[in-house]
Structures are given as structure tokens and as C-alpha cells.
């Protein structure tokens, strides 16, 4: 049997370009050369494709059987590339257009979770520049977290403890998105849980992140190498089960397919579990938590990649069977 040609899309027009390059290297190394032929497709920071782009018409990409988008953040994890792959009629790993876009927008993501009765942190949404700081503080006690609605890697995020730092934080977040989220700051544990599957999605062993700084910011995520990890997370059996259940429900709430990493807070004192966010293309670097959590749950990286490709083909086949006209 001939090998399956797997196009690995990486790089991209995103603040997470470098992380994507590292993730793609791990994914390509984990592709079994007996079964797969890796076709690396690099997208530079300006959005130019090397060695060639994907053509947006069915049948126009003969050298590709399935696509693995290993792109984080803007122009890759947000539904844009998924739209191109749908036009091209190619099977691809992970979430489709809607789930990608809905997961990227922290405001709409929370609304979808809340509509299902899932616990998300209370927030106020403002249109950046003209935010009324006094009115916000009346609705939401300080300290708060201020974030651009659409981004990642903690870019543009700050913690504000007074009105002055809140107005500075809003101005900073508004540089990245006109829509800004202001959220109650939760004190407690930061937990991550991996999800894998389509209709039958399952949750992994959860892990715990212990930031080395005031919060898990860009430096802590990618530069300092000082944040600590606990795998499995230090949670009771009941809390572990609750996190796993919520991870799968959150995955379903946004219509996700393939994979996602769902991040949580477990509040100190109350023990309440809050969903923070969902990442539809989690990191795949040698130190990333998504593959580590599955490895802990008994699924090593090569098997994980096999399964993701299988899920992509299954989803594609199911969609192929649908009609577009009567
Ligand atoms: N409401 C909150 N309470 C406490 N810490 C928070 C809150 N929101 C964000 N943080 C901290 O900021 C980090 C980045 O925020 P997050 O919403 O995960 O954005 P990103 O998509 O950039 O990862 C989190 O990992 C956490 O450390
Ligand atoms: Mg995060």
C-alpha cells in the first residue's frame, strides 16, 4: 500500500510562529515513515507559502492526502486555514471552521459554554478605546484580568489591581483586538486537560501548571523555562473526574472535532472549577502538555498522531456523505 501523504502546515502569520515551527518538527518526527510521507508546507511570518500554497478547489492538490495544520493563533487556529482546506476538499486534523473561530474568540467561547450551563469566569466585554473604567469597577471587583478577545500566548494580557492599571491594561489589550475581555481574577490552581476524538471524544489525565511569575505570561510559557508542571494534577479523584467531564462538554459546546486542550482554574477556598479557555491546535513541541497528557494516559506521541489522522479521515468521509443540494 502506498504511503499517506501528510501535509504539515506550519509557521504562519502569528505571534506563535516560532512555537509552531517547534511543534511541526515534533509532529514530523513522530510520523511513522513506513506509513506516512511528510509534506512540510511552511508559511512565513508575512503569510507566504513555501514551497507551494494549497489551491482552493477540490482535486487541485494531488500530492496531498490529508493535512495536519500545526499553526497556532491567528491565520491558522482561527478557522481561516480550515476554510481554505474545506474549499480544497481536503481532510484535515482538528477542528473545522466554526469550532476554530468560536474557540478563538474568548467572548463567544464563554457564551457557548454558558448556554450549556458550563462554568466560565464572570466577565465584562468592552470595545477597547472608549471603555468606562469607573463603570467596569462597579460591575467587577478588582483585581481583574484584561485580555484581547482574539489572541493567545498571553500576548496583550495583564492583571490590573486598581483603576489606573485597569485603564492601562485596557489600552494595551486594545492594541491587539478592538474587543477586550475583563475577567475576575481567580486565585487557585491552573489545570489543563487534553481531549481527543470526534463524536466519541475522551479526556486525558489532567495536568497542573505552576507559573513562576504572577501569572502564566509569555515569558513563563516560552522563554524562562521556570514554570513547574504536575502530571497528574494534584486533584482529588472527584475533581479529576469533574475536570475531565467538563473538558469533553466544553469540546462539544463549541462543536470541536479531533483534538483540543481545555484549560481550567480550580478556585482556592471554594473548590469551584472554572473553564478558562479551549485551544483547538495545542502545542506539540517536545515539552508541550497535550502530547504529554496523552502519553501519561497510555497513548504515546506516534499513536496519538495516527489517531488524529484517522479522526481527520473519518470526519472527512462523514462530511463527503452529506449532500449540498437536493
Ligand atoms: N481570570 C483569571 N484569573 C486568574 N488568572 C488568569 C485569569 N485569566 C487569565 N489568567 C492567567 O493568564 C494566563 C493567560 O490567559 P489565557 O486566558 O489563558 O490567555 P491565552 O489564550 O493567551 O493563553 C493564564 O494561563 C493564567 O495564568
Ligand atoms: Mg491560555
Q: Which CATH number does the domain housing residue 192 bear? A: 3.30.470.20
Domain boundary among 164, 184, 204: 184
* 33 and 138 belong to one structural domain: no
* 78 and 221 belong to one structural domain: no
* 109 and 228 belong to one structural domain: yes
On whether residue 58 sits in a domain, the answer given is yes
For residue range 193-210, list pLDDT tens digits in order: 999 999 999 999 999 999
What residues have CB less than 8 Å from 47, skipping those under 6 apart? 12, 13, 75
Instruction: Say if ligand 1 is within 6 A of residue 170 CB.
Output: no
Domain boundary among 280, 296, 311: 280
On whether residue 17 sits in a domain, the answer given is yes
Q: Residue 13: pLDDT band by 50, 70, 90 thresholds?
A: very high
Measure 252 CA to ligand 1 centroid, in angstroms. Answer: 22
| Counted domains in the chain | 3
On whether residue 10 sits in a domain, the answer given is yes
The C-alpha cell that represents 180 in the structure block? 477586550
pLDDT at 101: 97
pTM for this predicted structure = 0.96
* 157 and 62 belong to one structural domain: no
* 173 and 241 belong to one structural domain: no
In the chain, pLDDT over 90 holds for what percent of residues?
A: 87
* 106 and 248 belong to one structural domain: yes
For residue range 131-190, list pLDDT tens digits in order: 888 999 999 999 999 999 988 788 899 999 999 999 999 999 999 999 999 999 999 999
Q: Which CATH number does the domain housing residue 30 bear? A: 3.40.50.20
* 69 and 154 belong to one structural domain: no
Domain residue limits at 173: 123-184
On whether residue 68 sits in a domain, the answer given is yes
Q: Which CATH number does the domain housing residue 155 bear? A: 3.30.1490.20
Q: Which residues are catalytic?
A: 16, 153, 222, 261, 263, 277, 279, 283
**Atom number in ligand 1 closest to CA 186:** 3
pLDDT at 325: 84
Q: Residue 76: pLDDT band by 50, 70, 90 thresholds?
A: very high
* 234 and 267 belong to one structural domain: yes
The residue whose CB lies within 8 Å of the most ligand 1 atoms, and thus the one to mutate among 104, 215, 274, is 215
Instruction: Tell me the three-class secondary structure of the chain, residue by residue.
Output: CCCEEEEEEEECCCCCHHHHHHHHHHHHHHCCCCCEEEEEEEECCCCCEECCCCCCCCCCCCCCCEEEECCCCCCCCCCHHHHHHHHCCCCECCCCHHHHHHHHEHHHHHHHHHHCCCCECCEEEEEHHHCCHHHHHHHCCCCEEEEECECCCCCCCEEECCHHHHHHHHHHHCCCCCEEEEEECCCEEEEEEEEEECCCCEECCCEEEECCCCCCCHHHHHHCCCCEEECCCCCCHHHHHHHHHHHHHHHHHCCCCEEEEEEEEEECCCCCEEEEEEECCCCCCCCCHHHHHHHHCCCCHHHHHHHHHHHHHHHHHHHHCCCCCC
Amino acid at each position: 500500500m502506498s504511503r499517506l501523504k501528510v501535509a504539515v502546515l506550519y509557521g504562519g502569520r502569528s505571534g506563535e510562529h516560532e512555537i509552531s515551527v517547534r511543534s511541526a518538527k515534533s509532529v514530523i518526527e513522530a510520523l511513522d515513515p513506513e506509513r506516512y510521507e511528510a509534506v512540510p508546507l511552511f508559511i512565513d511570518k508575512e503569510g507566504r507559502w513555501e514551497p507551494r500554497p494549497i489551491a482552493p478547489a477540490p482535486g487541485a492538490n494531488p500530492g496531498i492526502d490529508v493535512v495536519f495544520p500545526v499553526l497556532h493563533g491567528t491565520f491558522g487556529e482561527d478557522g481561516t486555514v480550515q476554510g481554505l482546506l474545506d474549499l480544497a476538499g481536503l481532510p484535515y486534523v482538528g477542528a473545522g471552521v466554526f469550532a476554530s473561530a468560536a474557540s478563538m474568540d474568548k467572548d463567544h467561547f464563554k457564551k457557548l459554554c454558558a448556554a450549556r450551563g458550563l462554568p466560565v469566569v464572570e466577565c465584562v466585554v468592552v470595545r477597547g478605546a472608549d471603555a468606562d473604567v469607573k463603570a467596569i469597577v462597579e460591575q467587577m471587583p478588582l483585581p481583574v484580568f484584561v485580555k484581547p478577545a482574539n489572541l493567545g500566548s498571553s500576548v496583550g494580557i495583564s492583571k490590573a489591581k486598581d483603576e489606573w492599571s485597569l485603564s492601562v491594561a485596557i489600552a494595551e489589550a486594545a492594541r491587539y483586538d478592538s474587543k477586550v475581555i475583563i475577567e475576575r481574577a481567580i486565585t487557585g490552581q491552573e489545570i489543563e486537560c487534553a481531549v481527543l476524538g470526534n463524536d466519541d471524544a475522551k479526556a486525558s489525565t489532567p495536568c497542573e501548571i505552576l507559573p513562576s511569575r504572577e501569572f502564566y505570561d509569555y515569558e513563563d510559557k516560552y522563554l524562562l523555562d521556570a514554570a513547574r508542571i504536575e502530571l497528574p494534577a494534584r486533584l482529588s479523584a472527584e475533581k479529576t473526574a469533574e475536570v475531565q467531564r467538563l473538558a469533553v462538554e466544553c469540546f462539544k459546546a463549541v462543536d470541536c472535532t479531533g483534538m483540543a486542550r481545555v484549560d481550567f482554574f480550580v478556585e482556592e477556598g471554594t473548590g469551584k472549577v472554572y473553564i478558562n479557555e479551549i485551544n483547538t491546535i495545542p502545542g506539540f513541541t517536545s515539552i508541550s502538555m497535550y502530547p504529554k497528557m496523552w502519553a501519561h494516559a497510555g497513548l504515546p506521541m506516534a499513536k496519538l498522531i495516527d489517531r488524529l489522522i484517522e479522526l481527520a479521515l473519518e470526519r472527512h468521509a462523514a462530511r463527503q456523505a452529506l449532500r449540498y443540494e437536493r
